Amino acid sequence: MSGRQLFFLVFCTVLGSALYGLPNGLIYQGRQDAWLDVSAGLGFAVIIALVLYILGSRYPNRTLFQYGETILGKYLGKVIGLIFAIFFLMVAAVLLRIEVDFLVVALMPETPPLVFALAFMAVSTYAVTSGVEVIGRLGELIGPLLILAVVGILFFTFNIIHLENLLPFFQENPAEVIGHSLLPGGWLGFVIIAGVLMAFQNEPRQALKPILGGTLTAALLIILVLFQCITILGVNVSIQQIYPLFRAVRMIEIGDFFERLDSMAGIVWTAGGFLAIVAFHECAAIGAAQLFKIKGNGGKWVALVEGLAILLLGLFIFHGSADRWQFLRSVFPLLALAVEMLIPMLLLTISVCRHGWGFLGQRSGGK
């Protein structure tokens, strides 16, 4: 896997599902200052990325699931690894549900959700069984498309934006910013997948740039999306809409001929969201394979079983969209940040206490 592939994979994982998962919630929390919350949330993501990078260079060619065992010993380490694996599985299920809900609500209301979920997980399982390299190349192809889809919108919106919607600035006090930054922080913290994928890098020591770059680009585009929603729709309409960006794209008209481009944009975003699901599915599968020492062809069965698990979990995890927003706003940020930030930081602290700063991992030899 090359640096560019890691960059786009991190980027797509963070942005892919954020396009319709986040804007509504963020604007609801922060109104015109939502971009401030995202910027603060970026702080969490940068910390996570740095911690992962230091861990990765201390234990090269190992994944997040193996750090625990190396640092804390067999049993405690397995527990930590299991927490990560279950977290990945859960995030994949949440993302799947968000995707499927979007498709049902916005694109094809008469098709049962199960059909979408089944299609997603079938293709995702196929991708995961094909290996990390294939997923890397998929990211390399979908990533630029996603950037184009988001930035491209900008060029067709000049006639419908109202910059005055952005005012007033800086209404939030610092405490509010910190509180509101948890949701985007948890989302940007999806960079955690780099902790697994870094191990498959050609040059792990140069992984920092793609990881940070991917997160930063995704954060910038999220802010851009927020601005697009607010300038086109205004804050109040954005809060009322479940998918404000989707609604905003619907307003675009090019030369009296191309109108209602929302379903086209929705399909491109779905590609990004799909990649996010695949990335978490892949990481969860790698985790399970490493924790239970499954090798060779067994890995395909792990992918299949996890695909089924994500499918079922995704279908039954929420009762409805109200339930989903409740989860995303209250439970998700704390849970995500605990797993994404606190545990890696804890691992790094213990590692430093045990081995000191200079430790580079090579001398520990094999397992």
Partner 1 sequence: MFNSGISSGPVSGDLADGLQANISALKNRFKNSADVIYREFTLGFASNPKAVLIYIDGMINQETTSGTILKPLMFDFDGRDSKRSAGPNGAGDMADVIANRALPNKRVQKAKSLKDVVDGILCGNTALLIDGSAVALVIETKGWESRNVDEPGTESIVRGPREGFTENIGVNSAMLRRKIKDENLRIESLELGRRTKTLVYLAYIDGVARREMVNEVKRRLNKIEIDGVLESGYIEQLIEDAPRSIFPTVGNTEKPDVVAAKLLEGRLAIFVDGTPFVLTVPHLFVEGFQSSEDYYSRPYYATTVRLVRYLAFVIAVLLPAGYVALQSYSQDLLPTPLLISMVASREGTPFPSYMEVLIMGVIFEIMREAGVRMPGAIGQAFSIVGALVLGEASARAGLVSNSMIVVVALTAISGFALTSLADVIGLLRLFFIACAAPLGLFGILMGGLTVLIHMFKLYSFGVPYLLPIAPGNLNDLKDVFIRAPLGSQVFPPRILGHRNLARTTSDRRPPGKD
Nearest-angstrom CA–CA distance, 335 and 341: 10
Q: Which is nearer to partner 1, 145 or 317 (CB)?
A: 145
* Widest pairwise Cα distance in the chain: 67
Residue placing its CB nearer to partner 1 in the complex, 4 or 355: 4
Q: What are the angstrom distances between the C-alpha of 71 and each of 192, 296, 345?
A: 18, 26, 12
Closest CA to 228 of 170, 172, 160, 180: 160
Minimum CB distance to partner 1, residue 332 (Å)? 26
User: Considering just the CA atoms, what is the radius of gyration of the chain in Å?
Assistant: 20
Interface ranges with partner 1 (CB under 8 A): 2, 4-5, 103, 107-108, 111, 115-116, 119-120, 123, 126-127, 130, 133-134, 136-138, 140-141, 257-264, 267, 270-271, 274
Q: Compare residues 69 and 140 and give the one whose CB is closer to partner 1.
A: 140
- Cα distances (angstroms) measured from residue 130 to each of 4, 133, 282, 296: 19, 8, 10, 12
Give the nearest distance from C-beta 339 to partner 1 in angstroms. Answer: 28
Of 305, 321, 302, the closest CA to residue 313 belongs to 305
Report the alpha-carbon distance of residue 24 to residue 287 in Å, rounded: 32
Measured from the CB atom, the residue of 4 and 329 that comes closer to partner 1 is: 4
For residues 327 and 243, what is the distance between their CA atoms, to the nearest angstrom? 17
Nearer CB in complex with partner 1: 202/236: 202
Judged by beta carbon, residue 15 or residue 128, the one nearer partner 1 is 128
The number of helix segments (H) and strand segments (E) in the chain equals 18, 2
